[in-house]
Amino acid sequence: MKAVLFGASGMVGQGVLRACLLDDRVEGVVLVTRSPLGRRHPKLREIVHRDFTDFSAIEDQLTGLDACFYCLGVSAAGRGADEYRLVTHTYTLAAAQALARHNPALTFVYVSGEGTDGTGQARAAWARVKGETENDLLAMDFHAYMFRPGWIQPRHKERSRTRWYRVMYRLTSWLFPVMRRLAPRHTTTTEHMGRAMIAVAGLGGAGPRILHSPEINRLGA
């Protein structure tokens, strides 16, 4: 399979990239980034792009793809509503529409989050914005899977791009085995996320379209 990965510099994206490079089912990975990662690997090609609301300038390089692993996203904490919506909904739909035009057999895997609500009734604004993004992706003309992980533990030295997340992970890493035992339905790892994304990309649209940590862990085991 040939995949495009958004958000490769982030904590989840680093785990997904690692899984793709290790997995023989993945022949090639295109990274779309806003600053060069500078990674070198025979499977990798990187496209640096600045305007994530409009991919027309690079659309001709986004062809021949079987899967999109969309790990780009931000926390709503400390961010204005407009900025959160721009990054979460506008950027994601712009990428999805550009990919759908050129890749009719694409499977689009979106990293959403536990608590996302597609009914429009959620009290938290972030949950409504993610829910609307999920609904719009699920209505598009490709196979789409929504990943709703709870707590994601970084493995293999993946680092969050968000400073306060890095601090929190440093302070709480000892707690993860306890959390995994007490709340297995709400925990996963970057490694499981990566392997599960590759697994759903091979399902041809079968199975549930919205996956929480238990399904992610089963597919990524």
Ligand X SMILES: NC(=O)c1ccc[n+]([C@@H]2O[C@H](COP(=O)([O-])OP(=O)(O)OC[C@H]3O[C@@H](n4cnc5c(N)ncnc54)[C@H](OP(=O)(O)O)[C@@H]3O)[C@@H](O)[C@H]2O)c1
Task: Enter the tokens of residue 65.
Answer: 């793809």
Which of 4, 5, 11, 96 touches ligand X (CB under 6 A)?
11
The answer to the question of residue 127 lying near ligand X (CB under 6 A) is: no
Tell me which residues in 162-191 interact with ligand X (CB under 6 A).
162
Does 111 bind ligand X (CB under 6 A)? Our answer is yes
Nearest distance, CB of residue 102 and ligand X, angstroms: 21
3-state secondary structure of 69: strand
Among 87, 94, 138, 210, binds ligand X (CB under 6 A): 87
Spatial CB neighbours of 96, under 8 Å, sequence gap ≥ 6: 68, 70, 108, 136, 137, 140, 142
Residue 149 interacts with ligand X (CB under 6 A): yes or no: yes
106 binds ligand X per the rule CB under 6 A: no
The rounded distance, in Å, linking the Cα atoms of 12 and 111 is 9
CB 28 within 8 A of CB 2: yes
Q: Does 113 bind ligand X (CB under 6 A)?
A: yes
Q: What is the DSSP string of 158-219?
A: ---SSHHHHHHHHHHGGGHHHHHHH-GGGEEEHHHHHHHHHHHHTSTT-S-SEEEHHHHHHH
Kindly identify the residues of this chain, within the stretch 62-81, that bind ligand X according to CB under 6 A.
71-74
Does 20 bind ligand X (CB under 6 A)? Our answer is no
Span near ligand X by CB under 6 A; candidates 3-11, 39-47, 138-146, 206-214: 3-11
Nearest-Å Rg of the Cα atoms of the chain is 16
**Among 7-15, 22-30, 55-63, 136-144, which window interacts with ligand X (CB under 6 A)?**
7-15
